[in-house]
Amino acid sequence: MVSAQKPKASPSPTPGIDDGGSVKIPIRRVRLPITVTDKKGSFVPGLTKEDFIVLEDKVPQAIETFSDDISLSPLYVAILIDTSASTAGKLKFQQESAMNFIHTVVRPRKDRVLVGTFDDEVKLRQDFTDKIDLLDRAVFAIKQTGTHTSLFDAVWQFCDEKMRSAAGRRVVVLVTDGGDSYSRANLRDSIDIAQRTETTIFTISTKAGFLSTVPGVEAGQVANADDRVLQNLAEETGGISFFTGDMLSLERSFTKISKELRAQYLVTYNPANKNYDGNFRKIDVKLTEGKGGLKVRTKHGYKALSDAP
């Protein structure tokens, strides 16, 4: 269950991790949600299976399934909201924006959303559901804030306990105003578990506030180490980072994520390399000749582990 208060001291072994520190997640077919944009950042529709080249460790892979109709694929979204002390003045805006996003993205009887929070503790507020009233109740029931920020633990726990078993495309939307200050997991752990559970992470930084801005920091600008952490989480898993400066830009960030989730291509392949030795496999997706000027975005790879219990 996702909810555990953590001491600052060294953690005890985490369930699901072997003695070598690797999480055992079966890897068979690799599923890649792929976003293609043009020079203006607009999504590019109408591509076919023959337009894509998938490489794993520079070796071409045979595409088994291809879909440009995302409506066929259920969507599982985990919205994780930072409730550390510094977010107290922003919480209402985050809640309202999150609910607007939920109304936009959820297709009844098909998609599922869960809501979680993280501060000193990582909490599941509402498990996966398509019922807007339950999500609304869970989001606006968030009243109190904690002290610390367990960002990496939140990503790790929700990917491990919720996303790995979700029967569809898996997405985490992370809303936070700062870096991690309390986790047992680290950035690499978070990226690793997201890649291996085929979870795409979108990050929304609200550090600049809504009524005033931080000196020298503008919306859309990556300025310090905490910003780069959010950027890495997103880029390594196929998502994108947003750095908001006001309420309007927060709303726009959620809207862009919603639109992207409806514009992706979905590709699966069975890796040619069957030796699951725990090494990192680098994924590179390209377009065939004649598709110049287009940008392709998906996760950067995954760690190949065996099906051993």
The residues facing 81 across adjacent strands are: 117, 175
pLDDT in tens, 36-93: 999 999 999 999 999 999 999 999 999 999 999 887 889 999 999 999 998 888 899 8
Residue 278 and residue 254: Cα distance in Å, rounded? 35
Residue 247: per-residue pLDDT: 81
Q: Are strands 169-176 and 241-243 parallel, antiparallel or unpaired?
A: unpaired
Is the CB of residue 100 less than 8 Å from the CB of residue 94? no
How does DSSP assign 198-254, residue by residue? Answer: TEEEEEEE-TT-SSS--TT--TT---SHHHHHHHHHHHHHT--EEE--SHHHHHHHH
Residue 306: per-residue pLDDT: 64
Is the pLDDT at 212 greater than 90, yes or no? no
Residue 124 and residue 156: Cα distance in Å, rounded? 13
Residue 160: per-residue pLDDT: 96
Average pLDDT over every residue of 259-287: 94
Is the CB of residue 279 less than 8 Å from the CB of residue 46? no
Distant-in-sequence, close-in-space partners of 98: CB < 8 Å, separation ≥ 6: 79, 81, 115, 139, 175, 254
Give burial (CB, 10 Å; 0-12/13-18/19+) of 242: buried
State the amino acid at position 46 in one-letter form.
Answer: G
Residue 305 and residue 199: Cα distance in Å, rounded? 17
Is the CB of residue 38 less than 8 Å from the CB of residue 293? yes
Residue 176: per-residue pLDDT: 92
Residues recorded for the chain: 309
Find the DSSP H helices in the chain: 91-105, 132-140, 151-161, 187-196, 225-237, 247-261
Residue 148 and residue 140: Cα distance in Å, rounded? 21
Residue 32 and residue 54: Cα distance in Å, rounded? 10
Structure tokens at 192: 């690793």
Angle at 86 between CA 80 and CA 87, to 5 degrees: 45
> Helix or strand or coil: residue 163?
helix
Is the pLDDT at 122 greater than 60, yes or no? yes
Structure tokens at 172: 């985490």
Question: pTM of this prediction?
Answer: 0.87
Is the pLDDT at 107 greater than 80, yes or no? yes
Structure tokens at 35: 């976003």
Average pLDDT over every residue of 186-195: 96
* pLDDT band with cut points at 50, 70 and 90 for residue 223: low
Residue 159 and residue 308: Cα distance in Å, rounded? 19
Domains and CATH numbers, the chain: 30-70+265-303 (no CATH), 73-261 (3.40.50.410)
Query: What order of strands is seen across the sheet that includes strand 280-287?
Result: 59-61, 52-56, 280-287, 301-303
Residue labelled with tokens 């879909």: 67
Structure tokens at 110: 């098909």
